[in-house]
Structure formats: structure tokens, C-alpha cells
Structure 1
Amino acid sequence: MKMKLHVVEISSVFLFVFEHRNMKCTSCEGKYDGDAGACRQCYEDIKAKVAFLTISYEYPLTSFPDVVLYGSDDGHPDGPVKVMAHTVVLASRSPVFRAILENETKEIHIYELWPPQEFFAFVNYLYTAEICLDQQSARTLLVLAEKYQVHHLRDLCQKFLVSNLNCYNSLATYTLGHHHNDKQIIDAALTFITNNIEKLASSDEYAELKKSHPQLVIEIYERHFASL
């Protein structure tokens, strides 16, 4: 009887250790070793998000918006879209906005954004660090995040574009990466393209790329032949 109890105790300890070495992440639902509640990657993502949302106390916090952000009207009959914002939020999220606002500017024009939903998505992200991306919005917001040095948003757009590469968007993503000198996107897209060169070489997008950016096609073939 004593021996059986001892076995049960050992089994309980073993199960306890096993369960804690194979936990399920509450964020991505993947398995990981430990008992922190989140895997290492999700933990780093959450930590970066918290750091991004931390308000700088260099500026007085007010309950009332004190600056206007304008989006491009792009010839829209109703004129440019606009949204009221807070100096303290903009200055904390972007060093570029901070430099602009140090001159006591009360209006900021963001001409790159259209349609309006992408303008509002960008402003909403500055307040919440939440974004719902698709191919078009990821491309637009990547450019904007680079310009205003919103690094957390830039990283999310990069990850989205890299993780969603396929035969329909890889050439456009590759071109985008070159336009903005984004090595991470260039390398990922180039690897995908060279691995699928036989299918892509017969596409209309590839024919257009040869006309508009022949130097990029040369780079593709150089990588392709180097991998043979």
C-alpha cells in the first residue's frame, strides 16, 4: 500500500512537470515549455505593444484633442478627411510628429493616405496598437510607418507581407521592397519568386516587371541560377 502511494506521488509530480513543460500559449495557442501563459514570441510582441502604447510625459496630458490630422482629399468632392487628435499621443508614438509639434503646429497634413479608411486605421493604431491588415492596407501603412517612424506598425506590416507571399502578390511585394529599400521584404519575396520561377515567368505580372524594372528581373535570375 505504501509502495502504491509512492508511485502515485511520483506520477503526480511527473504529470505536474510534464504539464508545465508543454503549456498552451493563450495568445497563439501553440505549445511551449514553461508556465508564463505565453510563448516567447507572443511575449515579445506584447512587450513591444506595451512599450509602444506608453505615453511620454514630456507633454501635458489633456482630455481634449488639440491638433488636427488631415488626409489627402485626392480630388474628393467633400474635401480632405480629418480627425482630431492629441499632441501627447502623436508625440509619444512618432519622433517625426514630435518634431513637427515642437513648432506648436496645430494641423498636420498626411497626403499619402487614401482611401479614408486607411487614414482612420493609421490614426486608430496610434491610439490602440490594433490593426486589421490586408494586402492593400499593409502596403500603404508600411510606407506611412516608415515616413513617420512608427516602427511597431512597420514591423507588423512587414510580417504580414512576408507571411502572406503567394504567386499573385510576390512580384508586387518584391517591387515594393525595392522601392523602400526594405531588405527583409526583398529577401523573403526574392526567395519565394526563385522557388516558383517556372510558374511566375509565364505570368502577365512578370512580363510587366521586365518592361518596368528590368534590373529587378536580372536580380531574380542571378539568384535563381546561383541556387542551382
Structure 2
Amino acid sequence: MRTKQNRATMYNSVIKSSSSLSLTSNESTSSPNTINSNFSPIMRNDYSLDSVCCTKRSLHTFSHMWIVENFSSYLEDPEPIICLSSAPFSPISGISITTQWRLVCYPKGNYGASSNYMSIFLEYIKGERDIKAKAEYSLVNRKCELTEIRKDIQFSVYKCGNSRGFINYVKYETLTLLENETLDDDKLKIYVRITIMDDAITEETKYQEFDDSESINFTTRGLEGLVRDFTQLLLQSPPKMSDIKIRVTILYATFDDDSIQSPVIFYAHKLILAARSPVFAAMFSNRTLENTTNTIDINDLHPNTIQSMLEYIYTGKVTDIKKSTVELYRCADKYQLEDLRLQAEMALMNSISIETSAEILLLADQHHSKDLKSRVIQFIVNGNLKAITQTDGWHRYVACIPDLVTEVIQATTIE
């Protein structure tokens, strides 16, 4: 059992904070042109604590993405007022997990909106109690960047059936000008982040050396610092203490049918590569040519792809996953970077179109990705077969592989 002296030591920082507040309070009540030099705050560090209570209020944040396809058609629709609604969605944790919400969009503005503005609202559609919440709205452009961010200044009380948002959210010209890059293949992507405030709860707590929440904060800051330091390590040219060279060779065809080899060099660390990739681990654990010469030669991938791979290996993320998704998927599969492969696969699923479907289908077949293959075949048979079979990609990637053609035809029959 802890003694009162130990308790006083544990809460010494609380006492110091209270003393500082007392000094500030006394100074604020004195004359603005004089300082009370005789003021001497009483410092009491010898009291003990027998119990502590804590008042807690939880904030739960959840997000949702709503994709509106062929968005420009709504702006060209002759109807003066058009209302679109998203599917219902719910928080994934907290006491409000059973509530349901949806987004409501007026592409050409709501009643009372200024001309040439789109309106956006968040509607509370299912729940047994009033909810205190606030929302932040954004559009996701074709670079996967958040733009046109608008957020509620403070929390509001939502009753079931209530909706709140911005009547004059964004101008039409922002949505239609190509240089703004807001629409991605005529898809408007609306992202909302909602924060729900729970009621305050006061409870008695036990004495403890460290607060669990502080441990979580230290863990988060530690991971952020780790990513920051490894990013700086990768950006140095060459990186400090690098012991492996990656030489990427690109072949350019000339008018004389010759080729010009233009190597691009990357520097890295064997230990980091081996820790992240089983392929590199095997390469550096044996007397391979790469391990002996400290050089890895790559001639089947583009330098940008290798740069993205190294960024993922060192930091756990890729800045622009959509820049070379097909090649990045091949690269991740080649070096058994499972998380990167899944990220690239998700990006490919979101990029399926009439022009890209044939190449993605071949990629999924070559790398035995059932989910990706199923998704692209579903896209082809859902009314796009005729248009896709007329593309250059179909004749280049699929038409010459009878098994793939047969799978597509069979799926069309089932559909």
C-alpha cells in the first residue's frame, strides 16, 4: 500500500501547476503599471491524496466516402432541383454504433442556395437518442487529395431526422474545370469525417504510475518519429551507411533498332530490405551474386516503381499509389510485399474502366488474384463487353489468350 509521502511525490506536478495558476491570477488583478514585488505564493508540497476521481468525455470519430458517378450529367439535367442521397452508414465503435447516417447532396443547389453552388448535408436517420456531433466535408480529387474542406465550427445537437450542412458548399466551376482535377473520370468523391460527443462521466479511479492513454500517445508519437527518421534516411543521397546498390536499367528502342541502356541507381540497406521482404532476406542470406557484389540489377521494372517500393519498405506507405499501379502490383508480388500488393490491388479495383479493364484482367490472371479478377470480369459483363472488345487493350492483352476469353464468355452467359 502506498504511503501518503509517495502519493505527494506522484502528484508533485499537479501542485506546481496549481502554484503557477495562482501567480497568474494575482498578477492579473494588480495595476497594469505596477508589479507587486512583495507577492510570494505559498508553496505546499507536503499534502497527500487519499482518492482521485476523473471526469471523462469520449469523442468518437468515423468517416465515410460517397462516390457519385457521371456527376456532370446532374449539372446538365433540366430539372431545377436534384436531390441525391448516399447509402446509410454507421460508426464502427462507441455507444452510438447503432445509429445510422447518410449524406444528402444537391448538385445544382438546394432551395435558398446561391446560384452556381452545390449543397451538401449530413442527415441523422436512425437512433434512439439525440446526438451531439460535428462534421467535416471534403472532396477527393484525382490525385487522392482532400480539397474544398468545410467543417462545422462547433458541435450541434442532432435529433433523429435532422440534417445539417452547407447550402453554398462549392461552386460549379470548381467541379467542372479540368485544371482543378476535382472530378476523377467524372466521379465526384465526397468524404465526410464525423465526430460524436458522448455524455460526461465522473468515476473514481485507482492510483497508478502511468495513465494508459499517455502510453498510447507515446506509442503513436514513437511510430510517427520512426517513420520520420526512416524517411530522412531514404531521402539522403546516398543514404548513410548504405550497403546495397539497386541498378535499374531501361531499354530505349532507337531508329536503328539498337538500344540505349540508361541505368538509374538507388542506394539502400540490406538489413532493412531483408526485414521487410522475404525475397530480399533469402537473397542476402546466401552467397548470391547480389550479396557478393552488393548490387541488385533490375531490368523489368521502371525506376519510379522501384522508388515507390523503397518508399513503402522504409515508411510503410506510398505517396501516390495511383501513379504506376499495374507495375507496382507486379513489383509487390515479385518481392512478396503483401501489404503493398493489397494496397495496389485496391487502387486497381478503383481504376477499372473500359480502357484499363483488359490489362487489369491479364494482370489478375497472371498473379492469381481471384478478387481482382472477379471484379474486372464483373465490370466487363455488366454492359461493357462490346465497348471493351473493341479497345486496343483487349486485342493486345486478352484476345490472344483463349482461356481468358472463355472465362469472360462464360461469365456473360451466367449474367
Both structures adopt the same fold (TM-score exceeding 0.5): yes
**In structure 2, distance between residues paired with 1:203 and 1:73:** 27
Are residue 212 (structure 1) and residue 400 (structure 2) matched?
yes
> Given the alignment of the two structures, is residue 32 of structure 1 paired with residue 209 of structure 2, yes or no?
no
Q: Which residue of the partner structure matches residue 263 of structure 2? A: 80
Q: Report the Cα offset of residue 191 of structure 1.
A: 0.8
- Partners of 1:20 and 1:33 within 8 A in 2: no
The amino acid that maps onto 1:73 is: I
Alignment of 1:151 onto 2:338: yes
TM-score (norm 2): 0.40
Provide, for residues 33-91 of structure 1, a one-character-per-residue CA deviation record: whole Å limited to 9, x for no partner.
425xx99xxxxxxxxxx7xx8x9xxxxxx951111111123257574211111112101
Which letter does structure 2 place at the counterpart of 1:192? F
User: What CA RMSD, in Å, does the superposition of the two structures yield over aligned residues?
Assistant: 3.5
The one of 349, 360, 364 aligned to 1:177: 364
CA distance, structure 2, for counterparts of residue 107 and residue 171 of structure 1: 36
Which aligned segments of 4 or more residues in structure 1 are displaced greater than 6 angstroms? Answer: 27-30
Name the larger-Rg structure: 2
Unpaired segments of 5 or more residues in structure 1? Answer: 1-15, 40-49, 56-61
2:284 alignment counterpart: 101
The equivalent residue for 2:26 is none
Which of 212, 224, 242 is equivalent to 1:65?
Answer: 242
Shift of 1:164: 1.7
Over 3 Å counting, the alpha-carbon distance change for 1:211 and 1:168 in structure 2 is closer
Describe how 1:102-121 pairs up with structure 2 within 5 A. 102-103=285-286, 105=291, 106-114=294-302, 116-121=303-308
CA-CA distance at 1:142 after TM superposition: 1.0
- 1: CA distance between counterparts of 2:388 and 2:65? 33
Corresponding residue of 1:92: 275
Which residue is 1:44 aligned to?
Answer: none
Inter-partner Cα distance in structure 2 for 1:77 and 1:162: 35
Amino acid at match of 1:146: D
Q: Secondary structure of 2:266's match?
A: strand
Distance 1:69 1:209 in 2: 30
Return closer, same or farther for 1:187/1:82 CA change in 2, 3 Å cut-off.
Answer: same
CA contact (8 A) 2:358 2:398 kept: no
Q: Which has the higher helix share?
A: 1
CA change 1:28–1:91 in 2 (3 A) is farther
Say if 1:112 and 1:144, in contact at 8 Å, map to a contact too: no
Give 1:184 deviation, angstroms.
1.8
Number of equivalences: 187
| Pairwise CA distance, 1:28 | 7.0
Distance 1:198 1:155 in 2: 30
Partners of 1:20 and 1:34 within 8 A in 2: no
Matched AA of 1:103: N
Unaligned runs of at least 5 residues, structure 2: 1-55, 67-88, 95-192, 195-222, 231-238, 253-258
CA offsets, 1:93-139, max 9 Å, x none? 1011011111361222222212x22222222221112221236x111
**How far is the alpha carbon of 1:31 from its aligned partner?**
5.5
What's the TM-score once normalised by structure 1's chain length? 0.69
Percent of aligned pairs sharing the same letter: 23
Paired residue type of 1:148:
Y
Counterpart position of 2:174: none
Q: Deviations over 1:124-175 (max 9, x none)?
A: 221112221236x111111111111011111111111112211121122111
The 3 A distance-change label for structure 1 pair 127 and 201 is same
- Paired residues of 1:70 and 1:109 also in contact (CA < 8 A): yes
